[in-house]
Amino acid sequence: MTSPSRRAEYAAATRQAILDAARQLFVERGYFETRVEDIARAARVAAPTVYAAGGGKSGLLRTLIEEGTGDSEANLDAIVAAHTDPAALLRFIVDGTSSTFAVWSPLMRQVTDAAPQDPGVRESLELARSSLRDGLFLVANRLAELGALRPGLEAGTACDLLWYFLGNHSYFTLTGDLGWSPADAADWLYDRLTEVLLPAP
């Protein structure tokens, strides 16, 4: 008889295999072209197991995004609050969004493409956007607390500018459409944010 701990380990491993298969297939084939049966075959489980473990395609996509945003949010409040150098804080958030984009961009491209046609995907996309927006608002507020924003610039507008420069759309344009390296894109974004957010030297 299998022990409860062994059953839990098996269930966790099965769930992870399903998530890994879903992510790979969503990226390779697109959300709409991926069937639950395809995910089950890639994960070496039965189709009902995919539904039980993840709630079907929409549930799996939401779980992938929740786990991705959860990783990026870990301890963010404390890290942002610990920064006392405005330039270093901007460098931190630019590098953080750049590295997150590098990992998640293949999936997020599929999510962005599929969102207009599927309410479940739209919810997942909004979840990712809300998570990023919340993080950027922490940064904008911290800059305001430090008295580091340009004269007349409020935290809300600073957050809007951070969103404009650090949202997926900017990275898609710079690294995808224009073919910039991630490092070059991050450096350019940091320079632009320094110009628009911080007082002139």
Provide mean pLDDT across the span 151-164: 97
CA separation for the pair 64, 21 (Å, rounded): 11
| Separation of alpha carbons 179 and 146, rounded Å | 36
Tokens 């966790």, located at residue: 12
Average pLDDT for residues 2-14, to the nearest whole number? Answer: 79
pLDDT at residue number 3: 61
List of domains in the chain: 1-54 (1.10.10.60), 61-197 (1.10.357.10)
Q: What is the mean pLDDT of the chain?
A: 90
Residue range 115-128, pLDDT digits in tens: 898 888 898 888 88
- Alpha-carbon distances, residue 31 vs 95, 105, 112, 113 (angstroms): 29, 14, 10, 9
Give tens-digit pLDDT for 39-68. Answer: 999 999 999 999 888 788 888 888 888 877
Query: What pTM, to 2 d.p., does this model score?
Result: 0.81
Strands (E), the chain: none
pLDDT of residue 70: 64
Between CA 138 and CA 103 the distance in angstroms is: 22
Is pLDDT at 189 greater than 90 in this prediction?
yes
